[in-house]
Amino acid sequence: MRIKQISLLGLLAITTCVALSISHSITSYRLWHANKELTTLRQRLELIPIEDVRQIAARQLPSSDPRVRRWAVRIPITGSKVLYANWGTIPLAEIRDLRANSTHAFSLVPDPSTHEATIVLRVETNATNPKHGTVTFEVGDSKSVVAIDQEITSLLTGETACSSASIGEKPALRPADSPMTLLEIESNQTPKIGFCLWLDQPVTQNVK
């Protein structure tokens, strides 16, 4: 009877230890996840520390995928901006045409509490035809997917020799009524192939 009692006590102790270990593991994971989210939130809130709220500011966010670019944009309280994208066999000097038929426009609605919006540019190749692809524009909660031809796919995936410039991790500032280029890419070959993503004033047109 004594041996049976010891065995039950031992089993209870083992069960308790296992339960405590599982509980500790779950708590540790939740704490790690919470700390990770807190760090991300802290970084998010400190992305664009500017003194003059009348200016527009932007900063590129970290991305582990070379085909995904992300930015945070702070819009002045009294201002408004639209995200524009244009590409094709067009020199960069001529590509920022707000009224061109090839220009895509996307509404930019910032968070009312922070006056910030997140922009994501995602490039993907087709599984059945890798020479062609799509470019996805994620602006806040909205998403638009646009098919791109072989030349633009090659340009955006880095297969075509090119030069590029982008807003970096250090916040860039512009006057509220000035345009701001987030990303521009131009091929080294002739004729020039260009891609541009920029912010500018709203114009009378169909904005997605």
**Running DSSP on this structure, what letter comes out for residue 62?**
P
Q: Is residue 184 part of a domain?
A: yes
Same-domain check for residues 20 and 115: no
pLDDT at position 37 is 55
pLDDT at position 96 is 92
- Is the confidence at residue 40, as pLDDT, over 70? no
Same-domain check for residues 78 and 176: yes
129: Cβ contacts below 8 Å, ≥ 6 apart? none
Q: Is residue 7 part of a domain?
A: yes
Same-domain check for residues 38 and 96: no
Question: What distances in angstroms separate CA 200 from CA 86, 154, 168, one per listed residue?
Answer: 13, 27, 18
Local structure of 132: helix, strand or coil: coil
Q: What are 195's strand-pairing partners?
A: 87, 185
Q: Is residue 205 part of a domain?
A: no
Same-domain check for residues 8 and 91: no
Same-domain check for residues 36 and 79: no
Same-domain check for residues 88 and 187: yes
Q: Is residue 208 part of a domain?
A: no
Taking only the tens place, the pLDDT of each residue in 66-107 is 899 999 998 887 778 999 999 999 888 899 999 899 999 998
Residue 31: how many CA atoms within 13 Å on its side-chain side? 6
Local structure of 160: helix, strand or coil: coil
Same-domain check for residues 196 and 101: yes
Q: For 168-195, what is the mean pLDDT?
A: 92
The candidate with the shortest Cα–Cα distance to 158, out of 71, 91, 94, 69, is 69
Q: For 160-177, what is the mean pLDDT?
A: 91
Same-domain check for residues 20 and 66: no
Q: Is residue 34 part of a domain?
A: yes
pLDDT at position 46 is 44
Same-domain check for residues 111 and 132: yes
pTM of the model: 0.74
Q: Is residue 102 part of a domain?
A: yes
Q: Is residue 152 part of a domain?
A: yes
Local structure of 10: helix, strand or coil: helix
Same-domain check for residues 100 and 182: yes
Structure token pair of residue 81: 């901006």
Same-domain check for residues 22 and 66: no
pLDDT at position 33 is 64
Full domain range(s) for residue 72: 55-200
Same-domain check for residues 31 and 61: no
pLDDT range class, residue 109, cuts 50, 70, 90: confident
How many CB atoms sit inside 10 A of residue 190's CB? 6
Residue 88, phi-psi category: left (phi > 0), alpha (psi -120 to 50), beta (remainder) = left
